[in-house]
Amino acid sequence: MSEHNQQVQPQKNKPMQNERAADAPLRIGVYICRCGGNISDVVDVDRVAETVKLLPDVVTAKVHTFACSDPGQQTITNDILEQNLDRVVVASCTPFLHEQTFRGAVSRGGLNPYLYEHVNIREQASWAHKHDPEGATIKAIRMIAAAVGKLHHVEPLEQIKLPNHRRALVVGGGIAGMKAASELAGRGIKVLLVESSQRLGGQLNDRGRVYPTERDAKELVEELARRVRTHSNIEILMQSNVTAVSGFIGNFKVAIRTEAAGIPVTETTVGAIIMATGFRPYVPQDGEFLYRTEPGVVTMPEFLQLLRSTPDAARKLTWNGRVIRNIAFLHCVGSRQLDGVHEPPPNGRLNTYCSRTCCTTILQQALEVRHRFPSVGVFDFYRDIRTYGRGEENYYSAASRAGVTFFRYNGEEPPRVELTPRARAKEGVLSVTLNDTLTWGTELSVPVDMVVLGTGMMPGEIADLIEQMKLATGEDGFLQEVHPKLRPVEVSVNGILLAGTAQGPMNIQETLAAAGAAAVKAAAMFAREDVELNPYVAEVDLSRCCGEALCVTQCDYEGALQMVSMEVEGATVERAQVNAGLCVGCGACVAVCPNRAIDVNGWRLDQFEAMVDGIAAAIPGQECTPELVNIH
Ligand SMILES: Cc1cc2nc3c(=O)[nH]c(=O)nc-3n(C[C@H](O)[C@H](O)[C@H](O)COP(=O)(O)OP(=O)(O)OC[C@H]3O[C@@H](n4cnc5c(N)ncnc54)[C@H](O)[C@@H]3O)c2cc1C
C-alpha cells in the first residue's frame, strides 16, 4: 500500500496483573487436552503430564477431556487464582480454533493473556503420527517443553488499539456487493458502494430465469438494487474505480475516480473494505471448438441472450437466419483444463478448476429448449455432471426424461467440433465427434446446427486492486481467503473481506451467503469503538539501530516500516520506525538486521532460541533421551 501518514506505534507493555518479585521463580501451569480421544487415543497424555511436571518451574500439569469446555476453562482460571500461576500452556488442537478461548480463560484468572502459549498436539502430534503413539507422545512432550522454554522469556503484551471509522467500502455492485452493502446498512453502518460499470447487478443482468428457483434474475437484481438505492446509509458511485488504497483496518484511505461525472479523484476514509468484484465469463480463444470461426458455435452467455430475445410465442428457434433443429451443449469449456490437452488462455495459466455453475445452467437451458421447441434435438456432451446444489439434480433427471441425449467424453479426449463435409446439407453444418465412454468408447459423430460452449468463470481483472491491497490469489487467480473453513471470507490483510465470485466460482445462493458473512464480519469489527489487533508487530531497539535501512528495503508492506529522522545524542540520524497498524509481524525485517535491532513482539529471537533449547533438551525423568522425531 502507498504511504499513509498516520503512524501507530507499538503499545508499551503494561505491568503484569499479578506482580511477582523479579527473581522469584515462575509458576507455570500446563493443561493437556484429550480432545475426547482425538489426542489421547494416540498420545499417552497421562505420561505427558507426569513428564512435563518435571520441567523447570512447572507447578501443575493436568489432563482434561475437553480443555475448551466451560469446566476445562474454569480449571485453568481457578488454578491461576488459587495456585498463583503466572504462565500457562495449553496443549490441545490448532490455535485457529481455541487460542482465543484459552486467552480468555487466562484473562479471567487475572493474568495477561499473552503470558500463555498454545501447543497444537492434535494436528501436529496425534493426527500426524497416528501410527506411532510412542513418537507422538515424545513429540507432544518436546512441543510442550518448547512452550515452557519460551514462557521463561515472554512479557505481558497489550492489544494494539486503533481508531475505527464506522464506514465500509464495497467494491463491485453485483448481487454480492449489493447484498453486503444492504446488510451493513441495515446494521446502521455507512457504506460506500463503488461500481465500475453503468448498471448494478453484474453478470445476472444478462440472465433470464435462474436455477433453482426458476425466477427471473431481474427480480433479484431489482430487489437488491432498490434496497441499496433507497437506503440512507448507502452512497453509490457508478462508473467509478478505486485508484489507490492505503492505510489499515479501521483507517483505509481510498481514492476513487468517477468516469461519468468527470470528477478526477475523490479521497475518503473507510474502516473496512469488501471486495465483491465478481468474475469474468470465460471467452474461448479464436478457433477453440470453431468459436469465432463458425457462427453456429456460441458461448453459454450468448445462447442465454438468444433464448431471452426469442419471444415466448415463437415456434422456431432461429440464429443468423437459420432454423435450429439440433443443438449440442459442450460441458467444461474453459474449466477443468488439462496440461497437454488444452491450450492455456492468454494469461498462460490453465483453468484447472471447476466453474460449478455450468452443468446446471446447461441442463436448465437444454430443458428449456426441449419445452419451448419440442422438435429441436438436444445433445449433451459431458465429462462429468456436477449438479451439486439442493434441487439441482432434478434438472438432470428432468432433462433425461425430456429426451435430451447424453454423451460422455474422457477429459483427455475432448469432443471435436468440425464442419460437416456436407455443410448446409440437411443434417446441419457442424458435427460433434467423440469417443463416447457410455458406449465403451464408440466413436460417434452428431450433426448439429448449433454448438453451445458451456463456458465457465474466470477471475475478474483486478490486478491493480490486488497490488494496492496486497491481496493473495489462489492458483486459480481468484482472491484467496485465509482459511476455507475457519476464516472463509477474510484475507490476510486485516479489515479486507471477500464477497461472492471474486473469491471463486459460486452460484447465487453461495454468493449471497458469502456476502452476508462478509457483512457480518465487517459489522462485528465496527461494533467496537477501536479496532484491536494482535500485538505481534515489529519493534525497533533504537539503542542498536544503526540506520542501515536493510529492514525497510526488505519489508513487503508499504508504510509498515520507514526511516525517520531523529535526534540521538545531539546528532540528527535516520532510524527505522514501525507503523504497528500496517505491520503484519512477518519477521522479514528481523532476518536481515545484522545488529538484532528489530524483533517481533511475542515471537522474538530469544524466545525462538528458548523454544529450540526446550525441544532439544533431555526429556526429564528419562535416562536415555529417545531420538528426536520430526517436528514440522
Ligand atoms: C452462464 C452463467 C449462468 C449462471 N446461471 C446461474 C443460475 O441460473 N443460478 C445460479 O444460482 N447461479 C448462476 N450463475 C452464477 C451467478 O452468475 C453468480 O453467482 C453471480 O453473478 C455472482 O455475483 P457477484 O456479485 O459475485 O459477481 P458479478 O455478477 O460478476 O458482479 C461483480 C460486479 O462488480 C463490478 N466490478 C468488477 N470489478 C470492479 C472494480 N474494480 N471496481 C468496481 N466494480 C467492479 C462488476 O462490474 C459487476 O457489476 C451463472 C453463471 C454463469 C457464468
CB 299 less than 6 A from any atom of ligand 1: no
Q: Which residues contact 478 (CB under 8 A, 6 or more apart)?
A: 279, 459, 501, 502, 503, 504, 505
Mean pLDDT for all residues in the chain = 92
pLDDT digits (tens, 9 = 90+) for 407-464: 999 999 999 999 987 655 555 689 999 999 999 999 999 999 999 999 999 999 999 9
Residue nearest to atom 14 of ligand 1 (CA): 507
pLDDT attached to residue 5: 40
CB 197 less than 6 A from any atom of ligand 1: yes
CB 112 less than 6 A from any atom of ligand 1: no
Pocket test for ligand 1, best of 194, 207, 243, 330 (most atoms within 8 A of CB): 207
Q: Range with the lowest mean pLDDT among 135-139, 167-171, 205-209, 238-242?
A: 205-209
CB 195 less than 6 A from any atom of ligand 1: yes
Q: What is the DSSP letter of 572?
A: E
Does 574 score more than 80 pLDDT?
Answer: yes
Pocket test for ligand 1, best of 196, 203, 331 (most atoms within 8 A of CB): 203
Query: Mean pLDDT over residues 469-491, rounded?
Result: 93
- Percent pLDDT > 70 in the chain is 94
The answer, yes or no, to whether the previous bond of 212 is cis (omega within 30 of 0) is yes
Does 179 score more than 90 pLDDT?
Answer: yes
> Rounded to the nearest whole angstrom, what is the distance from the C-alpha of residue 276 to the centroid of ligand 1?
9
> Rounded to the nearest whole angstrom, what is the distance from the C-alpha of residue 473 to the centroid of ligand 1?
18
CB 211 less than 6 A from any atom of ligand 1: yes
Query: Model confidence at 370, in pLDDT bands (50, 70, 90)?
Result: very high
Q: d(Cα 17, Cα 102) in Å, to the nearest integer?
A: 17
Helices (H), 254-299: none
pLDDT attached to residue 534: 87
**8 A C-beta contact, residue 138 and residue 618:** no
> In angstroms, what CA-CA distances link 343 with 284, 337, 346, 347, 452?
10, 8, 9, 11, 19
Query: Mean pLDDT over residues 86-93, rounded?
Result: 98
CB 501 less than 6 A from any atom of ligand 1: yes
pLDDT digits (tens, 9 = 90+) for 601-614: 999 999 999 999 99
pLDDT digits (tens, 9 = 90+) for 332-364: 999 999 999 999 888 889 999 999 999 999 999
Q: Range with the lowest mean pLDDT among 374-383, 591-600, 616-625?
A: 616-625
CB 334 less than 6 A from any atom of ligand 1: no
Q: Which of 90, 95, 98 is nearest to 144 (CA)?
A: 90
Rounded to two decimals, the pTM is: 0.80
Does 540 score more than 80 pLDDT?
Answer: yes
Residue nearest to atom 49 of ligand 1 (CA): 202
Query: Model confidence at 623, in pLDDT bands (50, 70, 90)?
Result: low
**8 A C-beta contact, residue 232 and residue 226:** no
Query: Mean pLDDT over residues 256-270, rounded?
Result: 86
**8 A C-beta contact, residue 264 and residue 272:** no
Q: Which residues contact 445 (CB under 8 A, 6 or more apart)?
A: 431, 432, 433
Residue nearest to atom 15 of ligand 1 (CA): 507
Does 180 score more than 70 pLDDT?
Answer: yes
Q: Range with the lowest mean pLDDT among 53-62, 255-264, 311-320, 543-552?
A: 255-264
CB 268 less than 6 A from any atom of ligand 1: no
Q: What value does the CA radius of gyration of the chain take, rounded to a whole number of Å?
A: 30
pLDDT digits (tens, 9 = 90+) for 22-64: 778 999 999 999 999 999 999 999 999 999 999 999 999 999 9
**Domains of the chain with bracketed CATH:** 28-159+607-616 (3.40.50), 167-278+460-531 (3.50.50.60), 282-457 (3.50.50.60), 538-600 (3.30.70.20)
Q: d(Cα 277, Cα 463) in Å, to the nearest integer?
A: 11
> Rounded to the nearest whole angstrom, what is the distance from the C-alpha of residue 303 to the centroid of ligand 1?
17
Ligand 1 nearest-atom number relative to CA 464:
41
> Rounded to the nearest whole angstrom, what is the distance from the C-alpha of residue 627 to the centroid of ligand 1?
55
More confident residue, 531 or 73: 73
Q: Give the number of other Cβ atoms within 10 Å of residue 140's Cβ.
A: 30
SS3 of 533, please? strand
> Rounded to the nearest whole angstrom, what is the distance from the C-alpha of residue 176 to the centroid of ligand 1?
8
Does 629 score more than 90 pLDDT?
Answer: no
CB 276 less than 6 A from any atom of ligand 1: yes
**8 A C-beta contact, residue 163 and residue 251:** yes
CB 208 less than 6 A from any atom of ligand 1: no
pLDDT digits (tens, 9 = 90+) for 181-215: 999 999 999 999 999 999 999 999 989 999 999 99
CB 203 less than 6 A from any atom of ligand 1: yes
Q: Order of strands across the sheet with 58-64?
A: 58-64, 28-33, 87-92, 116-120
> Rounded to the nearest whole angstrom, what is the distance from the C-alpha of residue 54 to the centroid of ligand 1?
60
> Rounded to the nearest whole angstrom, what is the distance from the C-alpha of residue 599 to the centroid of ligand 1?
44
> Rounded to the nearest whole angstrom, what is the distance from the C-alpha of residue 333 to the centroid of ligand 1?
18
Residue nearest to atom 8 of ligand 1 (CA): 210
Does 270 score more than 90 pLDDT?
Answer: yes
Q: Range with the lowest mean pLDDT among 232-236, 560-564, 580-584?
A: 580-584
